[in-house]
Chains A and B, each alone.
Chain A
Amino acid sequence: MDRSWRDNRAVAAASVAAISFTLAAPASAQEIFKLGVVTFLSGPAADSFGVPARNGAQFVIDQLNKGAAPSPYEKVGFGGMKVEPVIIDENGGATKQVQELRNLYQRDNVDVVLGYIGSGDCLAVAPIAEELKKMLVLMDCGTPRIFEESKYNYVFRTAAHATMDNVGLIRYMKAKNIKMESLSAINQDYAWGQDSRADFVAAAQQLYPNVKVQTDLLPKFGAGQYGTEISALVGAGSDVVYSSLWGGDLQAFILQSAPRGLPKRSQLVFSAADHVLPPLGDKMPDGTIIGARGSYGLMSQKSPLNDWLFKGYEAANGVYPVQAAYRMTQAILGLKAAVEKAMSKNGGKKPSTDELVAAMTGLEWPSPGGLIQMKLADGHQAIQPIAISRTKYNPDLKRVDLVDIQYFAAECVNPPPGVKSLDWIKGGMQGAKCN
């Protein structure tokens, strides 16, 4: 997997570099690229995802505007145009986001809107961008339903959806011989939680055909207190307890479940827990299997691009980058690659929306978390590699280290083009390339 991944990355890096060099003439130095950036600045998702994403955006845009990013992104801004971000708070619900998106396009006249973490927000704003014929880059949101239930021309998602996280977890568990005759789950009762649960259970039933699903809990988002749920999970005594909880909910669940012996009775498996490791420290149970929604943070692989982000972000913010910062970075770098590809074809002018859409469709580009390939949904949905690992508290460094890291190629954990995620999993994950 490593070799083909490196080869792909090299090809993508070379093509992005070639595009940069073949630009006929830089866009006017006065010209700017106005970028709407939407992320949670307040509310429950701000600390875990929104603020790291905002910090990631600020770091990357600052570096790009200075021309300080490493190859193949060393060109200033987007094709010579300075990037001017307009940052908007994603908090407030889908209805508010629809209005904010219209404001960004029609009042602030941004060239592209990039961002969104909440699955519900992504599902709500995608049709609006399509209606307005404006380019929208979704940088996160886990639900696979965005492109599986609708077809969009102006909308892209530059990160893999939740299917990758859950198939990756199950493949990891199988590779590490984790016993799972019984399974319990606790997930939030909204798109992300329900879709994650469906993918994990379906994947489990493929690789662990005799697995029995016992307690299956769907508390509401932001429940905060899980005493009764923990009783039910401990009482069930399943081999594995799976959860896609995140942020404050995940922290509260871990804080409440550890003293009640849940981690001792069941193997805990969390699909997106890297972001709670710094705040939890020694409260995080050792041996927990976690994903980070990519090959990110402490699970990232060494490369000049990754060193640039990891060290630069850490120096700027005093904490290492986690998944949201990586996903924001790969979205901005992908957009930069698309802008410069479009400019290479139009003589170096600032590209129109349609030129940008054409350039972004099916694009591949290297990122700190690995090669990003827009392979699904007719070139509008990304796939990427993922890493899974186990937690181990390091008392000397006073931080949670990640051990037993295993990497999975994008084609091993993502469905092939033209197949719905759940159908692919239930069909035995045909065509997966895991070697």
Chain B
Amino acid sequence: MNFFLTIVLDGLIQASWLFIVALGLTLVFGVLKILNIAHGSFYALGAYIAASAVTMVAARGLPPGVGFVAMLVSVALIASAVGLLLERGLLKMFYGRDEVVLLLVTYAVFLIFEDVTKLIWGVNPIYATQPYELFGNLEFAGLYYVGYDLVLIPISALIGFAIWFGLNRTVVGKIVLAVIHNEEMSVSMGVRVNRVYAIAFAFGVLLAALAGALTAPKISMQPGLSSDVIILSFAIVVIGGLGSVEGAAVGAILVGLARAASVHLMPQAELFVIYLIMAAVLMFRPEGLFKRETARRI
């Protein structure tokens, strides 16, 4: 029983931060129909900004709790601004072009951000662990877990619920959903689609950066951080269905649990199982587990 609980807990811890990244990716795709290759770069950006904020706070002798708040606030402000600037300054020039063109534009952004992070933070590993000790340790299923890892689970659930609530229970959310389902009709109903695009993209960037900030205290930040994350995030949104919030949640949990089970039971298949699930979903439900069927327009 303990063994089973360990797998579930390990899987949920991993799913928690992956879900936040995938949520941003799926939101951007749902609204803008852009497969954002640069999404992992925003995750890395968040992690680096968080590390800088934590280091600055620690250098002033302030407690880790202040560092935790500072990293979230700084990431929220900078990531939102970066998202808005990118959407207004670059992406909007390519709207209406082929989807492949937009994909290539985001790939270019990914490459630019790789070098920008190296220019700003250098190539050496950076770590800022102070917030990782914030919530102590907890014994569960015979093992010690770091409280910070466990806190990530309710935080990601809260973020997921807030996004779901915002989309389904608020006027702004319903406008965004209208754009997701039928952009043309939304325009004819007076929705300012460009504004929705900008907000959705900035929010997607914010979510990726937030996930980076939340994982920053427990990892070593170094170049290459972004590419690993984007691959896993794509797997999650493909499993769950591109553009679906529920799909991102289920996809993240499936990927987290599958990987945890594999590490405990068959470590050699650790990566294979993730892509096995993805392949199986694509085979039997190519649109993903939660993507709604759309009527063909004539």
Q: A residues touching B (Cβ–Cβ < 8 Å)?
A: 41-44, 46-48, 51, 215-220, 222-225, 227-229, 231-232, 234-235, 247-249, 251-252, 255-256, 259-261, 279, 283
Contact = CB atoms under 8 A, between A and B. Distances in A.
Contact of A44 (B222, B263, B271): B222
Main secondary structure of the interface of A (DSSP, over half): helix
Contacts of A51: 123-124
Given A218-B268, A225-B14, A231-B10, A251 B146 contact: no
Contact of A255 (B11, B132, B260, B271): B132
B225 interface: yes
Contact of B260 (A46, A220, A228, A234): A228
Nearest to B125: A248
A251 B220 contact: yes
B218 A47 contact: no
Contacts of A220: 270-271
B56 interface: no
Nearest to B268: A218
B10 A227 contact: yes
Closest 7 CB pairs of A and B: A47-B124, A248-B125, A248-B220, A228-B10, A252-B220, A42-B123, A228-B263
18 contacts: A41-B123, A44-B125, A48-B125, A222-B222, A228-B13, A228-B14, A231-B6, A231-B264, A234-B143, A234-B144, A235-B6, A248-B125, A251-B127, A252-B218, A255-B132, A259-B144, A260-B143, A283-B129
A43 B144 contact: no
Contact of A225 (B6, B129, B219, B270): B219
B253 to A, nearest CB: 14
Contact of B129 (A44, A47, A255): A255
Interface of B: 3, 6, 9-11, 13-14, 118, 123-125, 127, 129, 132-133, 137, 142-146, 149, 215, 218-220, 222-225, 228, 259-260, 263-264, 267-268, 270-271
B216 to A, nearest CB: 11
Best-surrounded residue of B9, B118, B218 (most CB of chain A within 10 A): B218
Nearest to A261: B144
B144 A224 contact: no
Nearest to A256: B218
Given A51-B124, A219-B270, A252-B220, A232 B263 contact: yes
